Amino acid sequence: MKEILPGLWDVDEIGSMVHVYLWEWEDGVSLIDTGVPGNETKILDGARRIGYQPSDIKRLIVTHADIDHVGSLKAIKRITHAPVACHTVEKALLEHPERRRPSGTPLALLLSPLFALMRLAPALRVEPVSPDEIYVDGDRLPEGFVMIHTPGHTPGHISLLHPEKRFLIAGDALNTRTGPLSGPPPIFTPNMDNAHRSIWKLWKKYGADYDTIVFGHGDPIRENASDAVKGLIDQIYETEPGRAA
Ligand SMILES: [Zn+2]
């Protein structure tokens, strides 16, 4: 377990390909995402290592329904009995993982038979989960998070802002996977225009409320994170003139 900020832990027991976060709050802890299929033991062992039993896990918050974020959701729900929370729009993908579409880019279309085949492999199968709690943009969660609807990568993708502690969990709305801050990968993002609008929203509406951003993929930005988001926006709209936010 790696503590990023007081109370915010990166469950690094699962490696660093995708990040699962554990947040400590008054009533216990909540998990944000659950990694790939088969991660449940490592995640729960990580929680135990800092003193939390499965019954201390109060909520499983889903940023979006991709296999690397909800792969172990069903298994962890089975063990912890914690309610699953997501955005209203993402409910359909959680319940019907086969509906996930990559994008309309030529590469994605070329690879689509492969994606379909991959979904049949047992190790890559996402078990459907019915969320227990659904939220909309701007809702406040008991953990202190403001749920921000950041669609594009998936229709009901969310980011979580903790305004008091001044950090943002971006999910896959943003990433630093290759180093510099960037938007979600176009090949797995069916609506890139919306993804860009979501980035705009994270800066314009909420940029004054966070210093740190943590991501589903890549290392955190610990200081002046909103300046980095603004820099990315300038890049996006400069290289694609005529785009309105
Ligand atoms: Zn991801």
Cα(100) to centroid of ligand 1, in Å?
A: 13
Give the pLDDT band of residue 239 (cuts 50, 70, 90).
confident
Domains of the chain by residue range: 2-239
Among candidate residues 46, 12, 13, 17, the one with its CA nearest the CA of residue 29: 46
Work out the average pLDDT over 178-190.
95
Distance CA 182, CA 174 (A): 6
pLDDT band per the 50, 70, 90 thresholds, residue 34: very high
CATH fold, domain 2-239, is Metallo-beta-lactamase; Chain A (3.60.15)
Cα 79 to middle of ligand 1, angstroms: 23
When pLDDT is cut at 50, 70 and 90, the band that residue 245 belongs to is very low
Q: Nearest to residue 207, comparing CAs of 193, 220, 191, 224?
A: 224
In the predicted structure, residue 226 carries a pLDDT above the cut 70 = yes
230 CA → ligand 1 middle, Å: 22
Expressed in angstroms and rounded, the spacing between residue 33 Cα and the centre of ligand 1 is 10
Assess contact for 30 and 59: CB atoms under 8 A.
Answer: yes
Confidence of residue 166 (pLDDT cuts 50, 70, 90): very high
The string of pLDDT tens digits covering residues 11-33 is 999 999 999 999 999 999 999 99
